Amino acid sequence: VLDSQYGMYVWPCAVVLAQYLWAHRRSLPGKRVLEVGAGVSLPGVLAAKCGAQVVLSDSEELPQCLRNCRKSCLMNQLPHVPVMGLTWGRESPQLLTLEPVDIILGSDVFFDPKDFEDILSTIYFLLEKNPHAQFWTTYQVRSADWSIEALLCKWKLKSTPIPLHSFGADKEHLASSSLPGRHTIEMMIVSLAQSDGT
C-alpha cells in the first residue's frame, strides 16, 4: 500500500518488526497477539500466517486505517482475523473486554511525542491485565530529544533493547526493500518492571 500518510504505508519499522517475528516464527503458533497502530498490518498479518491468534487494531478515529487492516487480511487470505478500533489513552469498551494477549506488537507507534504517554498508558493497561505479556516494538530514531525513558519509569515499565543484528535486520536491504538501511531503526521489548522484581 503506497500512500504517504502514516497508517497507510509499509514503513521501515514494520519491515524490521516483521523480520523479528519471522526469526521467532516457531514460537508464534497459538500465541495471542494484538497489533496496535496496525495501519497496513504487516507484522500482525505475518504473525497470523505463522499460526498466532491475532487481533489487529488502529485508532477508532481513523476508519481508513481500519479499512486497510481489513484489506490486508483479505488480500492475505485471513478473513477471520478481527480488526478493532482502539484509540491510545482511551479506556474504551473494546479495550476493557479484550481477550488475554501474550504479545503486543507496535511498529513506529512512537512517531509523534504528543502521543507517547497515551501509547504507554494503553500498553501499561494491557500489561497489567496480562502480566506475562510483552510489547515488541520497533521505532525510527527521528530526534535525540525524543525519549520515552521518563515515561517508562512513570508507568512502571522496563525496556530491553534488541540489537538488529541478532535477527538479521541490520542489512541495507531487507525484504527486497532498501528503506530499513536508510533509516535508524531500533527495537525494544517492553514489559512490566515489577514482573521480575526490578
What DSSP string describes 115-141? GHHHHHHHHHHHHHHSTT-EEEEEEE-
Within a domain: residue 85?
yes
In this structure, is residue 1 part of a structural domain? no
Does any domain span residue 54? Answer: yes
Q: What is the pLDDT of residue 198?
A: 46
- The pLDDT value recorded for residue 34 is 98
Task: Answer yes or no: are the C-beta atoms of 118 and 88 closer than 8 Å.
Answer: yes
123 within some domain: yes
User: Residue 21's domain spans which residues?
Assistant: 15-186
Phi, psi at 145, each rounded to 5°: -80, -15
Residue 181 covered by a domain: yes
Per the structure, how many domains does the chain have?
A: 1
Tell me the whole-structure pTM to 2 decimals. Answer: 0.89
Residue 194, pLDDT score: 73
Output the pLDDT for position 99: 94
What value, to the nearest 5°, has the Cα angle with vertex 136 and ends 101 and 146?
A: 130
User: What does the alpha-carbon distance between residue 7 and residue 25 come to, in Å, rounded to a whole number?
Assistant: 25
Q: Does residue 115 fall inside a structural domain?
A: yes
Q: What is the pLDDT of residue 2?
A: 44
Average pLDDT per consecutive 10 residues, the chain (198 residues; last block may be shorter): 53 90 97 94 96 95 89 94 93 90 95 90 96 95 78 94 91 60 81 69
Domain with residue 49: its CATH number is 3.40.50.150
CB atoms within 10 A of CB 149: 8
Q: Are 174 and 16 in contact (CB under 8 A)?
A: yes
pLDDT number for residue 176: 55
